[in-house]
């Protein structure tokens, strides 16, 4: 029988409950939330756990807390940053059709830009690792291993681009990609994509930014289609 939850686990649960409510807009922007004491009573937890959860919500700019006033929900579409992205995707209904389509559309545009930069900025070591990863993908038939290799390939490509913002975007979806692996597995099921990994790696190695962008665009388009 599982033991009692640690204080940090309780706070995490409260945080997830409130995040889900805000991002799914059960709590509308501008809405006044109950006091921390009232939330604690409603959720059956202590006030300290709610207080810790609220601090995290403030850091994400999801709520505005003023002394002597109740918390108010902020419009996450207006104030949220990259740190909110993963929470949006994990929230209840976060991976419905439109949101998943938007994620894949943004991924495609980002990776095309990344491919151009990678071709211009890559080191010899990064070029060699991309070629190696493309070769391993061509020889791999296991779905989950192919997913791991796909992620490693894209992460290496982004690292070669040398843009910290692109790196942070990739980091923000990493947990989602692996925690919901079954959702994304169709992306790597089509073995015809293997040639595109190889073409992209070769183009980056040759510093051909146009060919790199074209190969990655074709690859990302196949991934988009696989998840429709």
Range of the structural domain that residue 19 is part of: 7-80
pLDDT of residue 1: 38
Q: Please name the residues in contact with 118: beta carbons below 8 A apart, sequence gap of 6 or more.
A: 126, 157, 158, 160, 161, 204, 212
- Quote the crossing angle between the two packed helices 194-205 and 97-121, to the nearest 10°: 30
CA separation for the pair 39, 135 (Å, rounded): 54
pLDDT of residue 3: 45
CA separation for the pair 64, 84 (Å, rounded): 15
Same domain? For 221 and 150 the reply is yes
Question: Both ends of the chain: CA-CA distance in Å?
Answer: 42
Residue 109 counted as domain residue: yes
Residue 85 counted as domain residue: no
Same domain? For 51 and 135 the reply is no
pLDDT of residue 2: 45
pTM: 0.76
Same domain? For 46 and 128 the reply is no
Residue 62 counted as domain residue: yes
Instruction: Give pLDDT tens digits along the chain (228 positions).
Output: 344 456 678 898 999 899 988 988 888 999 999 888 999 999 999 999 999 999 999 999 999 988 756 789 999 988 888 778 777 776 655 566 677 888 889 999 999 999 999 999 999 999 999 999 999 999 998 888 999 999 999 999 999 999 999 998 888 778 777 877 888 888 888 888 999 999 999 999 999 999 999 999 999 999 999 988
CATH number, domain at 51?
1.10.10.10
Same domain? For 114 and 201 the reply is yes
Q: Are 153 and 197 in contact (CB under 8 A)?
A: yes
Total structural domains within the chain: 2
DSSP designation for 73: E
Strand partners, 72: 32, 64
Same domain? For 144 and 59 the reply is no
Same domain? For 74 and 120 the reply is no
Same domain? For 205 and 163 the reply is yes
pLDDT of residue 142: 87
Residue 86 counted as domain residue: no
Q: Is 142 helix (H, G, I), strand (E, B) or coil?
A: coil
């Amino acid at each position: 029988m599982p033991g009692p939850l640690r204080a940090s686990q309780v706070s995490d649960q409260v945080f997830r409950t409130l995040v889900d409510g805000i991002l799914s807009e059960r709590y509308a922007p501008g809405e006044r939330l109950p006091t921390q004491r009232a939330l604690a009573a409603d959720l059956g937890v202590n006030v300290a756990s709610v207080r810790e959860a609220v601090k995290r919500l403030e850091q994400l700019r999801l709520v505005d807390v003023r002394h002597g006033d109740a918390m108010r929900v902020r419009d996450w579409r207006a104030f949220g940053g990259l740190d909110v992205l993963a929470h949006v995707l994990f929230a209840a209904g976060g991976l419905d059709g439109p949101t998943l389509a938007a994620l894949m559309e943004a991924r495609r545009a980002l990776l095309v830009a990344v491919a151009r930069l990678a071709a211009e900025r890559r080191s010899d070591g990064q070029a060699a690792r991309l070629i190696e990863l493309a070769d391993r993908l061509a020889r791999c038939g296991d779905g989950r291993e192919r997913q791991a290799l796909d992620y490693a390939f894209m992460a290496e490509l982004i690292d070669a681009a040398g843009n910290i913002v692109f790196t942070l975007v990739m980091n923000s979806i990493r947990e989602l990609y692996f925690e919901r692996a079954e959702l994304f597995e169709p992306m790597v099921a089509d073995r015809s994509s293997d040639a595109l990994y190889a073409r992209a790696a070769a183009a980056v190695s040759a510093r051909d930014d146009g060919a790199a962008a074209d190969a990655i665009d074709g690859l990302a388009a196949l991934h988009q289609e696989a998840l429709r």
